[in-house]
Structure 1
């Protein structure tokens, strides 16, 4: 499977659609290899340029898919042939992923969310996929319980580990514990089980397709997300200018 990695905002992304991501996970499981699947949106790009540990995590990641229509629009403006279906958010991906896990008999472990939330989400998905093998653990555990959480994950022997602790904690946790994780596919999944459990309102999918999902989330959680959506993007302006200059230089040489 091939993918043309592209560079935007001084980082890299792999414009994979859902079908290709599922195929990639299947290949990792079949070959008994371990792969880290990360994602980028404007928030993660902001953190990437301010957090050395985030940069280390992305250097270790095997795939960095697009999670955010602004990156799709920006890549298009820079001349990259990126399509709408190459924007993959977990709200859209989790159902096809769990359906494939059920069909293939893959074990799935979700780590994240407040106590009880992930378990409630697992009950919901098990009603949809009765033969799915899934286990969960909340993400609100103190450092002294980390080894116990790792032992719980190891005992379950998941093929897929979804870590949903929010950025940058989930990326830091994966990086810190990578040598103790045996899952074939490790995915940083944000709040995807919070949406399934109904703990966070799910944006209408038409808003996601138009790139307006951020507005719905901002209205739903203004205090928590105000800085992310209203202030952080302005800090990316120098990177955007650098991208435009790079494109103009390439065109000038051609």
Structure 2
């Protein structure tokens, strides 16, 4: 599988679009002798990978690292041969590939962990309404109680053992720590992914930015306008801190 190195030793990414991501989940990953990790990299995640912690560890252990955000796409283009440049269609968020997976409606067992009890209920209802074959089990991110619209056992650990795909949306870095702590419970051939707040968008508890804004790199502005308190530091402060750290790293290397 093609990977792209990021400049300044910032790691690498896997330029896949939504279709290719679903193909991997339903194909090669299913034949693995261990659980596969589907990671993603946006600017906030990149910032967290510069310090020891669960985000850095999970990113390093990921089998696939999706390009989630324009800054990562631009970084990937900086160090890639022209013929191998990632394209805008390979900049995808969790909502993009999960929407495609739901549309395909494969006969797989999905365990979702995260969101408020309200979000878990609404997300499970959305899946039940729009699919026929997917077996969906949703546990909220507070009490880890199973949503009423889900099916299967109430005990989370028992449900994880039978999953083909595990989606964890608890926010960074909590979701990455949760995945690392529960990885041994996941069966070989299953995929586990950190998906942030994507459940909220399907459940309708958060608004998804218009897709045209994502195509031109302004999705962050839409999110900031709708959640300024929660996202101001991430979108306005962290990029400056990241740039400062990268400049200092470059200076040290030239000393």
**Into which bin does the TM-score normalised by the smaller protein fall?**
0.7 to 0.9
Superposed displacement of residue 242, structure 1? 7.9
- Work out the number of aligned pairs and report it: 237
Runs of 5+ unmatched residues, structure 1: 250-254
Q: Which residue of 1 aligns with 2:148?
A: none
* Aligned pair partner of 1:175 in 161, 180, 183: 180
Q: Conserved in 1, the CA contact under 8 Å of 2:39 and 2:65?
A: yes
Q: Conserved in 2, the CA contact under 8 Å of 1:78 and 1:244?
A: no
Distance 1:199 1:79 in 2: 38
Runs of 5+ unmatched residues, structure 2: 145-153
Distance 1:242 1:73 in 2: 21
Give me the TM-score of the superposition, normalised by structure 2: 0.84
Give me the TM-score of the superposition, normalised by structure 1: 0.85
- Shift in CA distance, 51/244, structure 1 to aligned 2, threshold 3 Å: closer
SS of match in other structure, 1:187: strand
Write out per-residue CA displacement over residues 151-174 of structure 1, whole angstroms, 9 at most, x where no aligned residue.
3433xx110110111111111110
* Aligned pair partner of 1:153 in 157, 160, 180: 160
- Shift in CA distance, 243/77, structure 1 to aligned 2, threshold 3 Å: farther
Alignment of 1:84-103 (within 5 A): 84-100=88-104, 102-103=105-106
Farther-moved stretch of structure 1 (20-29 vs 209-218): 20-29
* Aligned pair partner of 1:135 in 124, 134, 137: 137
Q: Which residue of 1 aligns with 2:53?
A: 52
Distance 1:97 1:32 in 2: 23
Superposed displacement of residue 50, structure 1? 2.3
Q: Which residue of 2 aligns with 1:63?
A: 64
Q: Conserved in 1, the CA contact under 8 Å of 2:160 and 2:185?
A: no
Q: Conserved in 2, the CA contact under 8 Å of 1:14 and 1:66?
A: yes
Superposed displacement of residue 240, structure 1? 5.0
